[in-house]
Chain A
Amino acid sequence: DAKTTQPNSMESNEEEPVHLPCNHSTISGTDYIHWYRQLPSQGPEYVIHGLTSNVNNRMASLAIAEDRKSSTLILHRATLRDAAVYYCILNSHGGNNRKLIWGLGTSLAVNP
């Protein structure tokens, strides 16, 4: 199974942009890149996903490298509510199945 690698933790200041990196060097052509975040004692929350092109939504932007071996989640203006564990995940297709393959995530701290 293709895996992802993320820094254990990152820190940001409120109202500043945050760039959360993810490496997925063994990604295959049919794997989607997903980002989720999880607040303490809550279920993971979908943030954004993409396949090849950069993606924007109301929560964040996803920049995908041309070779697709890495991606970056961009929070344009961090707020205190963005403090969470961010997971970069591959929605991986294998055989007749798709499944989400999770790493350990990046714990983002946001300073006021």
Chain B
Amino acid sequence: DSGVTQTPKHLITATGQRVTLRCSPRSGDLSVYWYQQSLDQGLQFLIQYYNGEERAKGNILERFSAQQFPDLHSELNLSSLELGDSALYFCASSVDWSRGTEAFFGQGTRLTVV
């Protein structure tokens, strides 16, 4: 158990809909990262937050948005969903983004858009 909790584990929804994925980082970790992994692909970095502030953006679509709340949990919002958005979405947390420390990953949310 990495200590990072992601909910829900599975999500099936229709095209055009909007979903919210939730991540609770390990206790004490201030950094949260979101990644997308499509079938048989590597992890694509989406966005990073540190203590409530956006720190880095990767290949995140405009239809996607995220935030980190005062209690440090984070949500990834995906809207106007398309079939190609079907993927595993992972959240990771780390204690200190500035010192290159390791990140711990949740078990992911498997999103299926039909």
Q: Which residues of A contact B (CB under 8 A)?
A: 30-32, 34, 36, 41-46, 49, 51, 87, 91, 93, 96-105
Contact = CB atoms under 8 A, between A and B. Distances in A.
Contacts of A104: 41-42
A103 to B, nearest CB: 6
A45 B105 contact: yes
A102 B55 contact: no
A46 B103 contact: yes
> Lowest 8 A-B CB distances belong to which pairs?
A32-B100, A43-B105, A97-B56, A46-B102, A91-B100, A102-B43, A104-B42, A98-B97
Nearest to B48: A99
Q: Which of A36, A43, A97, A103 has the most CB of B within 10 A?
A: A43
B64 interface: no
Interface residues of B, number: 27
Contacts, number: 65
B100 A99 contact: no
Contacts of B103: 46, 100
Interface of B: 2, 4, 33, 35, 41-45, 48, 55-56, 58, 88, 90, 92, 97-98, 100, 102-108, 110
Contacts of A49: 100, 102
19 contacts: A32-B100, A41-B108, A42-B107, A43-B90, A43-B108, A44-B43, A44-B90, A44-B105, A45-B2, A46-B104, A87-B42, A97-B55, A97-B97, A99-B33, A100-B33, A100-B45, A100-B103, A102-B42, A103-B42
A83 B105 CA distance: 19
A34 B99 CA distance: 13
Contacts of B55: 96-97
A98 B88 CA distance: 23
A71 to B, nearest CB: 14
Contacts of A87: 42-43
A102 B45 contact: yes
A51 B100 CA distance: 9
Contacts of B98: 93, 98
